[in-house]
Amino acid sequence: MDKVIERFLESGILISPEVDVREIGPVSSGPIVLDKESYVLLTAGKTEDWLEYEKAKVKSQKTEIKPHHDNGNVQLLETYEETNVKISIKDFVSLYNGRYTLLQNILRQRQELSHASSIKKAGELEPDEETAFIGMILDIGITKNGNIMLTFEDPTGIIKAVVTKNDKNLFDLAKEMSNDLVVGVQGTKGNGIVFVKNLILPDVPLTKELKKSPIDEAALFISDIHIGSKDFMQKNFERFIEWLKGNLGNQKHKEMVKKVKYLFVIGDIVDGIGIYPEQDKDLNIKDIYEQYAVFEKYLQELSPDLNIIICPGNHDSLRVAEPQPVVPAEVLPQLSVRKNTFMVSSPSIIKIGQVGSFPGFDMLLYHGFSFPFYADAIESIRAKGGLENTDNIMTYLMKARHLAPTHGSTQYQLGYEKDPLVIRTVPDFFVTGHIHRAAIKSYRNITMLNCSCWIAQTEYQEKRGLVPQPCRAIYVNLHTRESKILNFEHEDGSQS
């Protein structure tokens, strides 16, 4: 019994005193992986799910490399085109109603919310009765006593809910709420209000499997190249291209390059034209077609067998409103007909690496236009460095299961059947850019990557005190799920 407890502690899992360790059953001698970011408390209520944890987490630790000789594959699961429909106020209402329904269905999968009532029925309860409901946050305020007042709505009505400052953990969680989040609420009915006992975000299941490819192959991730800007770090980007061609670096680097089957470019390929006032003063290429032509020239130097996946950013030649459709073929005429080039929207979901019985990896790609809003708006994110630590923003959005839940956090385009920014599919990788810094984090077995840039510090960043981390590429071995940041400020792309 002591050995079982010791095995859990070694893996960062704390067992609650009320758990009967004998009920857990045998524990494998291999690694136990739940959530690398924090200790997990295993309580009596969770022991029955232990075999599911083992199946989901440890299965991926036992993969073997299988012989494989083709170039992998790319499947476009969700990518958005331009809409040309006439928009009315009904489309705005439909967007929010549809979003609510999607996130409500995710929340109802939680046992504590499986029988959640409507807000109308919650409001009809007598004082001291227990209630659970799912609502969208309409307003957040502070009472005269320093408590947090949350106003929720659903299609049936509106209700106010109080989070007392005496419950520190719950109060801290309530401080992270923002308008338009869809949240599950458990509480006790009062006179015209609900006293909150628990707030539940849609989040990601703990049983998300850490998948590993049976093939020893790799993917590279870059973003925010900004070709056309005077500050484009041309020599460094050319060094990256030479490295990817196998012409730079030591033997170890050349072996790494041989494994690369996928190159992801997560937006802001070029600096664009007319993106901000007097931008022309910052450009050394003032024709949008010429900017993209330079990008095409670089990528045409790469192996024709390399899968290249390109999503847009706010500097690219298309609308800023999200979802941003694919980069137009007219500005990338050569790449658009290249055999293994895939143009996708921001956001988009694609699948890579499916082979045999292995299902492949689901990749959520999003440029990251909403990130500055949450870096400013959420106290805990500000306290942890704001835009300098984008992984905290990515975790926040993954918990919300939406890429820009608050109205005003991004510009969005109406006219789609479902809200394109809802994270309906739990991805294996969540890949972003926009902030010009490199970050890698694992959250519940989702590998979250924020890609670097290839441009020096901008005036806007200098005003905000944000120091970029340029000339980084993120290398991920899909067989081991090991991630590395390669720094091309150095001649050989050494790991930073």
How far apart are the C-alpha atoms of 399 and 293, rounded to whole Å?
39
Q: In the chain, helix, strand, coil percent, each to 5?
A: 30, 25, 45
| CA–CA gap between residue 47 and residue 18 (Å, rounded) | 11
Give residue 460's pLDDT.
Answer: 72
User: Does residue 10 surpass a pLDDT of 80?
Assistant: no
Q: Which of 139, 145, 176 is nearest to 159 (CA)?
A: 139
| CB distance 347 to 403 below 8 Å | yes
Q: Which domains does the chain have, with CATH numbers?
A: 2-62 (no CATH), 108-200 (2.40.50.140), 218-487 (3.60.21.50)
Cross-strand pairs, 263: 220, 308
DSSP label at 453? B
State pLDDT tens for residues 51-67: 433 434 443 444 444 44
Q: Is the pLDDT of residue 494 over 80?
A: no
pLDDT of residue 462: 83
Task: Please answer whether residues 302 and 245 qualify as being in contact, where contact means their C-beta atoms are separated by less than 8 angstroms.
Answer: yes
Predicted local confidence at residue 45, as pLDDT: 39
pTM: 0.85
pLDDT of residue 82: 85
Measured CA to CA, the distance from residue 224 to residue 232 in angstroms comes to: 10
Query: Residues 114-121: what's their mean pLDDT?
Result: 96
Give the 3-state secondary structure of residue 310: strand
Q: Please give the pLDDT value at position 467.
A: 87
In this structure, what token pair is assigned to residue 186? 């458990």
Q: For strands 429-432 and 446-450, give the pairing.
A: parallel
- Report whether 1 contacts 22 (CB < 8 A): yes
User: Is the Cβ–Cβ distance between 188 and 443 less than 8 Å?
Assistant: no
Confidence check: pLDDT of 29 > 60: no
pLDDT digits (tens, 9 = 90+) for 262-307: 999 999 999 999 998 889 999 999 999 999 999 999 999 999 999 9
Task: Report the C-alpha gap between 375 and 392 in whole angstroms.
Answer: 9
Interhelix angle for 251-259 vs 234-244, to 10°?
80
* Strand-strand pairing, 182-189 and 439-443: unpaired
What backbone torsions phi and psi does residue 183 show, to the nearest 5 degrees? -135, 145
Check if the beta carbon of residue 309 is closer than 8 Å to that of residue 72. no
Nearest CA among 379, 314, 419, 477 for reference residue 95: 419
Beta bridge partners of 412: 322
Q: CB-based contacts of 92: which residues, under 8 Å, 6+ apart?
A: 414
Task: Provide the token pair at 265.
Answer: 């470019």
Rounded CA-CA distance 106/118 in Å is 16
How far lies 144's CA from each of 149, 195, 285, 329, in Å?
Answer: 10, 16, 57, 57
pLDDT digits (tens, 9 = 90+) for 319-333: 999 999 999 999 999
Q: Give the DSSP letter string of 21-76.
A: GGGT----SS---S-TTS-EEE-GGGGGGHHHHHHHHHGGGG-------S---EEE
Say if residue 280 is exposed, middle or buried (CB neighbours under 10 Å; 0-12, 13-18, 19+). exposed
Structure tokens belonging to residue 34:
């739940």
C-beta of residue 361 within 8 angstroms of C-beta of residue 353: yes
Asked whether residue 26 carries a pLDDT value surpassing 60, the answer given is: no
The yes-or-no verdict on residue 17 having pLDDT over 90 is no
Task: State pLDDT tens for residues 169-221.
Answer: 999 999 999 999 999 999 999 999 999 999 999 999 999 999 999 999 999 99
- Ranking 60-74, 155-169, 204-218, 457-471 by mean pLDDT, the lowest is 60-74
- What is the overall mean pLDDT for the chain? 87
pLDDT tops 60 at residue 451:
yes
pLDDT (average), residues 220-228: 98
